[in-house]
Structure 1
Amino acid sequence: MSEQRALFDELGPRARRRSRAISGGVILLLAGLGALAALKLAENGQFSAQKWSPLFNPLDSQFTTVWTFLGGGLRNTALAGGIAIALSLVIGTVLALARVTSRRWYRWAIVGVMEFFRAVPVVISIFFASRFLPTIGVDLPLLWYLVVGLVLYNSIAIAEIVRAGILAVPRGQTEASAALGLSGAQNLWLVVLPQAFRLMLPSLISQLVIVVKDTALGFIIGFEELLRRGEIAVQTLGNPLQMYLLIGMLFFVVNSLVSALAQRVESGMRQRNGSRQSPPATLRTGFLRVPALRS
């Protein structure tokens, strides 16, 4: 008979009372701090309708103008994020494959480049792209300077995620594919990568959300994404607290949609994989199920 083991002993009556008292004290402290903050905001006129109405009241005369202006910034954010995500996925996968399949004599060059760009803050990558590319005659719209900076950083992060996924695939799958006569390239594309993407999808989702959030750094080069449009609107409306609160809410919605979409894809992949569950001694590929050789 198996025994269930708990990580911690159950709290006794005295410990439960102490825990409830501490929790109640923390709640009261937070409530007091919140009330104090609300009082200070009210004293500074931050709850006046003039500051909130242009953002949240459809009957306000400025509401349509403000949201049209912010909508353009949101569209630019989505465009920059979408392009950066697509390019980072492609380049990151190529870099991961290059690192995994590279020979010892030139592997140091690939690793060195990846480690350099991974150590450089993304804001410096964006600023460097906007200053360096024009000096060599590459004049691009501000959107592409932002995309280049984001891709330089995030493709390296995605490459490490992909490499970890590749190394997590059981070695028996590679041996079975070799026994069936698949080449090294066929093994990577048909056997290893499809399984690696399923393993690394949760980490990949987190990185894609980071890409979308990092588009807000476009303001340092003057690209009018959502945050930059908000800063411009604040100069007219004079409500930075309310505007940045709204921008934070919009980023929360966008990132939640990205996470929900990625999780839906992950769930669909798991359901398809579970509905066609193969026997234990099976070589799994992205397109077929091949019985592995038995000794």
Structure 2
Amino acid sequence: MTGSSVLFDAPGPRARRLSLIASLVSLVVILAGVAWIIMTLAAPRESGGITLPGMFDASRWDIFADPQVWAFIGQGVVATLQAAAVAAVGAIVVGIALSLLRSSSIGWIRVPTAWLIEFFRGMPVLLMMLFILLVASTGAFWAVVIALVIYNGTLIGEILRAGLAALPRGQREAALSLGMREFQSKMLVEFPQAFRQMLPIIVAQLVVLLKDTSLGYIVGYNELIRTNMNILASFYGNRYLFSLFVVTLVIYLAINLALSWFARWLARRTASGGRRRGRTTDPLNPAALLEAEARADEAERSAANRGLGQYDGTAH
């Protein structure tokens, strides 16, 4: 019995044939659906007694030959990335603070922090943006940034707290045995390991943060969607609405796929510990010192056991 068929029976000829037929049918259905969508979009349509060309007609895409259009779209991209970058830094800082407070051993710190996290996690981001804009009068940019910082900061805080809780208890016990206080153990030994392990998940949450900047459309922030789908579409007319939609979608996909690729690369790096072959232990890393000390103690015990075995052999 092979390792691939331990948990289930290998499919027979009839099952493989049915699976192949189902796969081919599904592929044909998907291709037919895609072809129907393309033909529907490419077909001319009537609107108010006027025949309009299909969505792929060159007359619906000629505005993109104007450099000023791309400059205006670039302003929307910069505004989106600017809000996302500021909110990402703030969310990581807030998340680190909340994770430390939430994992505190002091009850009057830990319990109110848990209530605060649950409150902000349950509040919709758009409602938070509207509240900040209307009550604090911060302006559209800061309403978007502060709301994203608060919401994503609570999520990142829970992610880091889970990373701290998943660490072996021996890490803290070893640090305390070296004379460190609990806070020193958490900051110098436990938290760096938890942050490194949870970094791919944090990056994935930052991808969500980037997409949530589109909610700034509602509060009047000129991010990418508002720039393309509202301002440019109003200026050039609904004739170019589909082409602007496609350009906006492609830009968002390019940014998010790049961040997703970075998250996967980071996951591979953190899974291997970020070590290169032949790399020595960092003497300034407390976690590395603890690992090195544990290896040294194990080697010393092994040597002692070998010496004891040799002594027993000579005694007999």
- TM-score > 0.5 by shorter chain: yes
Contact 2:101 2:109 in 1 (8 A): no
Change in Cα spacing, 1:4 to 1:235, as seen in structure 2 (3 Å) is closer
Q: Residues 227-256 of structure 1, C-alpha deviation per residue, up to 9 Å, x if partnerless?
A: 110121122333222212211111111122
Q: 1:34 to 1:176 in 2, by over 3 A?
A: same
What SS does the corresponding residue of 2:218 show, helix, strand or coil? Answer: helix
The answer to whether the 8 Å contact 1:216/1:225 transfers is: yes
One-letter identity of the residue aligned with 1:68: A
Structure 1 residues 158 and 218: alpha-carbon distance in aligned structure 2, compared to 1, 3 A threshold: same
Q: Does 2:293 match 1:291? A: yes
257-266 or 157-166: bigger deviation: 257-266
Work out whether residues 142 and 221 of structure 1, in 8 Å CA contact, stay in contact via their aligned partners in 2. yes
Unmatched tracts of structure 2, length 5 or more: 46-53, 302-316
Counterpart for residue 281 of structure 1: none
Residue 8 of structure 1, CA deviation: 2.8
SS of match in other structure, 1:157? helix
User: In the aligned structure 1, how far is the partner of 2:208 from the partner of 2:146?
Assistant: 15
Q: Which ranges of structure 1 fall in alignment gaps of 5 or more residues?
A: 135-139, 279-283
1:137 is matched with which residue? none
1:286 CA displacement: 5.5
Match of 2:310 in 1: none
Conserved? CA contact 1:150–1:211, under 8 Å: yes
Identity %: 34
1:101 counterpart SS class = coil
Match of 2:106 in 1: 103
TM-score, scaled relative to structure 2:
0.81
User: 1:133 and 1:167, CA in 2 relative to 1: closer, same or farther beyond 3 A?
Assistant: same
After superposition, the Cα gap between the structure-2 partners of 1:180 and 1:261, relative to the gap in structure 1 and judged at 3 Å, is same
CA contact (8 A) 1:169 1:196 kept: yes
**Offset at residue 155 of structure 1 (A):** 0.3
Runs of 4 or more consecutive aligned structure 1 residues displaced over 4 Å after TM superposition: 1-5, 262-269, 274-278, 286-290, 292-295
How far did 1:288 drift? Answer: 4.4
Report if aligned partners of 2:199, 2:266 keep a CA contact under 8 Å in 1: no
Deviations 1:180-232 (A, max 9, x none): 00112211111001110121122112101111111111101110011110121
Quick one: which of 57, 61, 73 aligns to 1:70?
73
CA contact (8 A) 1:195 1:285 kept: no
Aligned length: 280
Rg comparison, structure with higher value? 2
Amino acid aligned to 2:82: L
Q: In 1, distance between residues paired with 2:218 and 2:160? A: 30
Name the residue aligned to 2:243: 242
In structure 2, distance between residues paired with 1:41 and 1:264: 37
Q: Deviations over 1:99-148 (max 9, x none)?
A: 101522443321111101101111111121111212xxxxx342111101
Question: CA 1:13–1:5 in 2, change beyond 3 Å: closer, same or farther?
Answer: closer
1:236-275 pair list within 5 angstroms: 236-237=235-236, 238=238, 239-265=240-266, 267-268=268-269, 270=272, 272-273=274-275, 275=277
Residue 148 of structure 1: aligned partner: 146
Task: Provide the rounded CA distance (Å) in 2 between the counterparts of 1:206 and 1:7.
Answer: 32
Residue 122 of structure 1: which of 120, 125, 133 is its match? 125
